[in-house]
């Protein structure tokens, strides 16, 4: 393998192809448009299907339909389009439909800041569609990370029979880095497993599309463990919801510890994700050069939130700082996980610019100094 200079959005496409994606439906929107453009170039020549839809509502609907037709399907969008998709993301969760949605975040609300980065869809990615539902939301802070996270998203979608969301930001989507990636694999014919008519669909039964297994009713209505709607049972619905959440909690691929940097002897733990995590690593180096033992936690899985990992980290530090490009979204679950074990500080920015290493380091130095002054007083 040789190094190639690749854009983050291009890496998403290459990761999707490597994962077996053969269907893409979407609508152009900055800063995710390059994903659609590259899919338009590549998929038809590989025997796949590319279709530009009239809007994002129809794009996610086409993806769900394609998945039930046997395709490995995805779409990509940004904040406004992601908002439009929420009802059908809930529908995909209820119908246990595997698919991948990439959201390259930009400033909002509404049309907002179309060309500027943001991390303001974190809560929407989990709570945007109504009702309780299990959610898998991944993120990445590099071009290579975008590639591997995309592959991971497809694998998790199929394993857990649910929509998986990859949250990028405008910088990760558009920046270019030299990376080594394997050649695109040849198209493969999928072999669908068989599922017995009485199999429990709330347990570990694989996803089987139309024509390859027992009769299934695909509906946004509640269904029983055999995939049939009615008579409606609240108990069956709750069992489905709890079973999905429990499967995620037992999946080592999801619950594995997040990446860390210089955390072994740290008294301050910085938590960040996406492009902000890149600045965070340099901020840690700045702080250590100034005598403050800081460490870094880079989140790659946002939902389910890594509560136990943050709890463990909080036991060994005196301060936890969450830095993000919004007005404070992930600080909520971080604070809940820390639960008083350490002081939590929130560094936010929502003007379309980036948090620099210097700004992060200055914020942490100031907050920890203030804390020491209060303690001595």
pLDDT per position as a tens digit, 258-306: 999 999 999 999 999 999 999 999 999 999 999 999 999 999 999 999 9
| 114 CB-contact burial (10 Å; exposed 0-12 / middle 13-18 / buried 19+) | middle
What is the rounded distance in angstroms from the CA atom of residue 329 to the CA atom of residue 327? Answer: 6
Tens digits of residue pLDDT in 168-222 = 999 999 999 999 998 888 887 787 877 777 777 777 678 888 877 777 888 898 8
What is the rounded distance in angstroms from the CA atom of residue 140 to the CA atom of residue 122? Answer: 13
The structure tokens listed for 142 are: 């590099």
Neighbours of 190 (CB within 10 A): 11
State in Å, rounded, how far the first CA of the chain is from the last one.
60
Check pLDDT > 70 for residue 317.
Answer: yes
Mean pLDDT of the chain: 93
Tens digits of residue pLDDT in 225-268 = 878 887 767 888 898 899 999 999 999 989 999 999 999 999 99
Q: What angle do CA 236, 225, 97 make, to 5 degrees?
A: 105
pLDDT of residue 372: 63
- Distance set, CA 44 to CA 22, 23, 327 (Å): 9, 9, 41
What is the rounded distance in angstroms from the CA atom of residue 89 to the CA atom of residue 247? Answer: 19
Neighbours of 321 (CB within 10 A): 27
pLDDT grade, residue 52 (50/70/90)?
very high
Q: What percent of the chain has pLDDT over 70?
A: 97
pLDDT of residue 188: 78
Hey, where are the domains in the chain? 1-255, 259-376
pLDDT of residue 199: 76
pLDDT of residue 210: 82
What is the DSSP secondary-structure string of 258-312?
A: PEEES-TT-SEEEEEETHHHHHHHHHHHHHHHTT--EEEEEESEEES--HHHHHH
Give the E-state strand segments of 174-266 in sequence order: 176-180, 259-261
What is the rounded distance in angstroms from the CA atom of residue 96 to the CA atom of residue 110? Answer: 29
The structure tokens listed for 132 are: 């309780």
Check pLDDT > 50 for residue 11.
Answer: yes
Chain mean position to CA 205: 24
Contact 154, 21 (CB under 8 A): yes
The length of the chain in residues reads 377
Neighbours of 372 (CB within 10 A): 11
- Among residues 342, 340, 309, 350, which one has the least CA distance to residue 122? 350
Residue with tokens 């005598």: 291
Tens digits of residue pLDDT in 79-117 = 999 999 999 999 999 999 999 999 999 999 999 999 999
Contact 296, 261 (CB under 8 A): yes
Give the E-state strand segments of 141-267 in sequence order: 163-169, 176-180, 259-261
What is the H or E stretch that residue 192 is in? none
- The one-character DSSP state at 54 is S
Q: Which long-range contacts (CB under 8 A, 24 or more apart) does 364-367 make?
A: 364/268, 364/270, 364/283, 364/287, 364/292, 364/294, 364/319, 364/321, 365/287, 365/290, 365/292, 367/319, 367/321
Residue 33 φ/ψ, nearest 5 degrees? -60, -35
Cα R_g (the chain), whole angstroms: 21
Please say whether the structural domain 1-255 has been given the CATH code 3.10.50.30.
no
pLDDT of residue 376: 46
Contact 157, 99 (CB under 8 A): yes
Task: Give the CATH architecture of domain 259-376.
Answer: 3-Layer(aba) Sandwich (3.40)
Residue with tokens 């395709």: 71
């Amino acid at each position: 393998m040789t190094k190639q200079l690749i854009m983050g959005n291009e890496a998403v496409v290459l990761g999707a192809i490597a994962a077996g994606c053969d269907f893409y439906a979407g609508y152009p929107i900055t800063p995710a448009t390059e994903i659609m453009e590259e899919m338009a170039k590549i998929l038809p020549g590989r025997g796949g299907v590319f279709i530009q839809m009239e809007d994002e509502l129809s794009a996610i609907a086409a993806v769900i339909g394609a998945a039930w037709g046997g395709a490995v399907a995805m779409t990509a969008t940004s904040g406004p389009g992601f908002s439009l998709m929420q009802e059908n993301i809930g529908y995909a969760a209820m119908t246990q439909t595997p698919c991948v949605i990439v959201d390259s975040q930009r400033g909002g609300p509404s049309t907002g800041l179309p060309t500027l980065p943001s991390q303001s869809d974190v809560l929407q990615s989990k709570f945007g569609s109504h009702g309780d539902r299990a959610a898998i939301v991944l993120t990445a802070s590099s071009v290579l990370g975008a590639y591997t996270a995309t592959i991971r998203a497809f694998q998790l979608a199929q394993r857990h029979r649910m929509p998986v969301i990859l949250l990028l930001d405008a910088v990760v989507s558009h920046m270019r880095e030299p990376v080594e990636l394997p050649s695109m694999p040849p198209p493969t014919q999928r072999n669908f497993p068989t599922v017995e008519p009485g199999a429990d669909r709330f347990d570990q039964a694989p996803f089987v599309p139309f024509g390859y297994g027992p009769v299934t009713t695909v509906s946004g209505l509640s269904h029983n463990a055999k995939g049939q709607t009615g008579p409606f049972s609240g108990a069956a619905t709750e069992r489905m919801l709890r079973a999905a959440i429990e499967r995620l909690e037992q999946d080592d691929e999801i619950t594995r510890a997040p990446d860390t940097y210089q955390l072994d002897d740290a008294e301050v733990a910085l938590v960040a994700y996406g492009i902000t995590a890149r600045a965070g690593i340099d901020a840690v180096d700045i702080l250590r050069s100034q005598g403050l033992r800081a460490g870094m936690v880079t989140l790659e899985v946002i939902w389910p939130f890594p509560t136990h990992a943050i709890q463990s980290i909080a036991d060994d530090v005196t301060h936890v700082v969450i830095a993000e490009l919004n007005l404070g979204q992930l600080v909520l679950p971080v604070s809940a996980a820390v639960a008083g074990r350490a002081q939590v500080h929130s560094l936010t920015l929502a003007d379309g610019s980036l948090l620099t290493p210097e700004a992060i380091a200055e914020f942490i130095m100031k907050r920890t100094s203030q804390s020491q002054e209060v303690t001595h007083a």
